Structure 1
Amino acid sequence: SAAVLSNELNNTDKVVKYINRARARGIEILPPDVNLSREGFTPLGEKIRFGLAAIKGLGLSTVQAILAAREAGGPFRSLFDFAARVDPRVLNKRVLESLIKAGAFDSLGARRSQLFAAIDRALEYGARRGRERQIGQFGLFATSAEGAASDLEPPLPDLPEWPLEERLAGEKETLGFYVTGHPLERYAEEIALYTDATTEHLLGAGDFKAEASAGDLSDPEAEGKVDTDDVPSPSGLSRLRALAGRTITIAGIVTALTLKTTKRGDRFAIFTLEDQYGSLKVIVWPETFSRANGLLRNDALVVVRGKLELEENAATLIAEEILTLEELKTRMTKQVIIRVKSGAVTPANVDRLYGVLDRYRGSADVLFEIECAGGILVRIRPNPFVKITPSPEALSEIRRHLEGCEIRLVNGRRP
């Protein structure tokens, strides 16, 4: 498996495809690491370590210089130690940016935000240490270049870590896929409640067979062979045929977005929708595109409702509607359950709550669950005409007026 990946270091699309296949078969992909990664992908039992040469922005000469410095001086202790020891002829700002975004310095203990802010200082530090080594100056109290580098390292700025979305975006930019998480993970429960398909459901993650000339990623004897396109297995193809023509609702991240124009001058879009399990081609014809309200952009989280088509054993989703997850929740929520402790149910809070319900009138029923002494739970249904639109703003106001309350949204499709 690692050898197959290493054969395609310069082909990000194929690397991503093989990684998705490996993950579907239970193989964990470990992030790149300046102290543990080699040039190519490295097998570690049921895991594979990402190779440095597969990081975008790193040339082969840079990777070889990193490995040579590590071999000569042992593991890198810090960003500044790294900058001081790696050949400055191949080390520049872009290289450090790529390594940090890819998470290759994470094991050193510093936050990516701190490292990124210190890039210029690290390069200056490395250049200065290089000049000192050339003229034999090791510092007033140090006995070696390594000692001086360690003693005089500037402190990292005290910065909060990048938000998860920014860290994941950096991984996608430099590695072609997400390593430490996925943008959809935080929405997993909502997506499961409000959509009815995933690429795993449609395409069967791991349920593929390679063409006759292709290497099998799970077969050690096939390592080293170059894979070609995947085709569905008989069971996967049967599933696709059964689903063809059906309308589905699926959530994912927009990637590889291409905007085109018909002969009549109408704009339409083609993109790849990615979720945690795989990807699906989506076509958005002009009428639907005109209603998308600018939602289509790379890396955007969208919900697509459309008809699944099967042509030459390949699945394509013809979009009929593009929504945000919040829009879908607002539309499909049939009941809002508000659970609160009895002590929070004061006349003033009740008045404020009814003000919220009045401002955000909608179609979802409201049910109150009051936690009373002795573990007694009292359920109260207000006037049947009291209904709400469960927008983020409405739910935020409810939480503000009923501190500590829990809110559950019930989809009408499910009990």
Structure 2
Amino acid sequence: MAAVMTSDQDDIDRLAIEMTECKHMGMTVLNPDVNESFVEFAVVPNEKKIRFGMAAVKGVGVAAVEEILRARDEGKFTSIEDFAKRVSTSRVNKKAYEALIKTGAFDGFGTRSDLLFNLEDILSFASKLQKEALSGQTDLFGDLGGGSGLMPSIELKTAPVRYTEKEQLMWERELLGLYISAHPLDNFDAFFEEQTIPLHSVTPKIDGQLVTIGGLVTTLRSIVTKSGSKMAFVGLEDKTGDGEVIVFPKLYEQLGDNLRADVVLKVTGKISARDREGNMGDEAKM
């Protein structure tokens, strides 16, 4: 399954379906981790788990991952300080650090809030130490100046503001394309399974059928018709894919302010895959 997910890592819809399949197979897909992930998706040894590949994180290129793996060949990282000492800042830059923190790859070394708050200090520490090592002033695995002093260290300060679980899930969605550590719809699994069809099954094959779907509102676009009435195009997402629901004026009048991003909806309506001339298209909407 890890190989299939690697081949589909640029196809978020396919990945979402494969993650659902993993769940049905009793397998868990985990966030990337600097001590366990590789370039591609990989099975965790002796466990029914798959680790997200670090190269699948937006802002983290293959060269950065290869540098992390090179340093990890010498032994697993024991702290964010150890990582900063051993991984070149010329290969793993601020953008890569930030993306890896936000997607949970450093969760073993501190909270995402604290690591982001201290990121500038971490990078300054790493850059200074590595420059001194290149000039011969510092041995990265020894003392300063030939052995009499102590190695510099990082003291992580507590972030004054803690990021919420919702904010952290949105980072995962932005940088991985999917929610990994949790999903806003986790509490609705049984409800949706009993009362709706999954969004990935909404295709032109069921054109004209009356169905019930459910999911999280991700986008909302309202327009004013020629008659002056309001209608909306609502982007909906579940754990298998996404779709669009057209809310016509009469229903829009009833729903109005209740239509907003991040609301969970259950919707019943007819599926249409035809254009205004009645020709069958490639996409289906409700």
Q: Could you state the TM-score of these two structures normalised by the residue count of structure 1?
A: 0.55
Secondary structure, aligned partner of 1:292: helix
**Residue equivalent to 2:260:** 296
> Letter of the aligned partner of 2:64 in structure 1?
T
Equivalent residue, structure 2, for 1:309: 271
2:210 equivalent to 1:245: yes
Matched, 1:92 2:93: yes
Structure 1 pair 16–245 and aligned structure 2 pair: CA distance change class (3 A): closer
Q: Distance in 2 between matches of 1:267 and 1:165?
A: 30
Aligned with 2:64 (options 49, 62, 65):
62
Aligned partner of 1:70: which letter? Answer: R
CA contact 2:30–2:49 (8 Å) conserved in 1? yes
Cα gap change, 1:283 to 1:200, in 2 (>3 Å): farther
User: Cα deviation per residue 1:247-287 (whole Å; 9 max; x = unaligned)?
Assistant: x5x653223x3637588487654444234565454222345
Shift of 1:60: 1.5
What are the ranges of 5 or more consecutive residues in structure 1 without an aligned counterpart? Answer: 209-229, 318-415
Question: Could you say which structure has the higher strand fraction?
Answer: 1
> Any stretches of 5+ residues in structure 2 without a counterpart?
274-279
Q: Structure 2 CA distance, aligned partners of 1:295 and 1:310?
A: 21
State which structure, 1 or 2, has the greater radius of gyration over its C-alpha atoms.
1
Q: Are the equivalent residues in 2 in contact too, given 1:267–1:289 (CA < 8 A)? A: yes
Structure 1 residue 143: Cα displacement: 3.3
Q: Which residue of 1 aligns with 2:114?
A: 114
Q: CA, structure 1 residues 129+2, in 2 after alignment: closer, same or farther (shift >3 Å)? A: same
Amino-acid identity (%) = 31
Give the aligned partner of residue 128 of structure 2: 128
Q: CA deviation at 1:198?
A: 1.7
Task: Give the deviation of 1:294 after TM superposition.
Answer: 7.3
Structure 1 equivalent of residue 48 of structure 2: 46
AA partner of residue 81 (structure 1): D
Matches within 5 A, 1:136-155: 136-138=136-138, 142-143=142-143, 151-155=151-155
* Pair 172,204 (structure 1): closer, same or farther in 2 beyond 3 Å: closer
**Superposition pairs for residues 268-347 of structure 1, below 5 Å?**
268-276=231-239, 279-289=242-252, 291-293=255-257, 295-297=259-261, 300-309=262-271, 311=273, 316-317=285-286
2: CA distance, partners of 1:144 / 1:40: 37
Cα drift, residue 16 of structure 1: 3.0
Q: Distance in 2 between matches of 1:106 and 1:77?
A: 12
Label 1:78 to 1:273 Cα distance change in 2 as closer, same or farther (>3 A).
Answer: same
| Offset of residue 182 of structure 1 | 1.7
- Asked if the contact 1:270–1:284 (Cα under 8 Å) also holds between the matched residues in 2, the reply is yes
Structure 1 position 17 matched with structure 2 position 17: yes
* Alpha-carbon separation, structure 2, partners of 1:204 and 1:48: 23
- Would the aligned equivalents of 1:254 and 1:274 in 2 still touch at CA under 8 Å? yes
**What TM-score results when the alignment is normalised by the length of structure 2?**
0.77
Give 1:23 shift. Answer: 2.5
What is aligned with 1:178?
Answer: 179
**Corresponding position of 2:103:** 102
**For the residues of structure 1 that align with 2:29 and 2:83, how far apart are their CA atoms?**
24
* Structure 1 residue 124, shift from structure 2 partner: 0.7
CA contact under 8 A between 1:258 and 1:271: conserved in structure 2? Answer: yes
Deviation at 1:42, TM superposition (A): 0.6
Which AA in structure 2 matches 1:52?
A: M
- Structure 2 letter corresponding to 1:254: V
Once residues 3 and 127 of structure 1 are traced to their aligned partners in structure 2, the CA distance between those partners, rounded to angstroms, is: 36
Question: In the alignment, what sits opposite 1:198?
Answer: 192
Deviates more, 1:95-104 or 1:14-23: 14-23
SS, match of residue 282 in structure 1:
strand
**Conserved in 2, the CA contact under 8 Å of 1:262 and 1:268?**
yes
Give a deviation string over 1:211-240, Cα, whole Å, max 9, x none: xxxxxxxxxxxxxxxxxxx979xxxx8xx7
Looking at structure 2, the residues matched to 231 and 202 of structure 1 have their Cα atoms a distance apart, in angstroms, of 15
Superposed CA deviations along residues 119-161 of structure 1, whole A, max 9, x for unmatched, are 111111111011110111227x94379x99x942221112375
1:74, distance to aligned residue in structure 2 (A): 1.6
The whole-number CA distance in structure 2 between the counterparts of 1:310 and 1:22 is 31
Q: In the comparison of the two structures, how many residue pairs are matched?
A: 271
Does the CA contact (< 8 Å) of 2:199 and 2:237 recur in 1?
no
- Provide, for residues 327-351 of structure 1, a one-character-per-residue CA deviation record: whole Å limited to 9, x for no partner: xxxxxxxxxxxxxxxxxxxxxxxxx
SS of the equivalent of 2:95 reads helix
What is aligned with 2:277?
A: none
Does the Cα contact within 8 Å between 1:16 and 1:177 map onto a contact in 2?
Answer: yes
Equivalent residue letter for 1:136: G
Structure 1 residues 22-68: Cα deviation after superposition (integer angstroms, max 9, x where no partner): 32433211211001001101123532111111111111111111111
Whether the 8 Å CA contact 2:210–2:268 is kept in 1: the answer is no
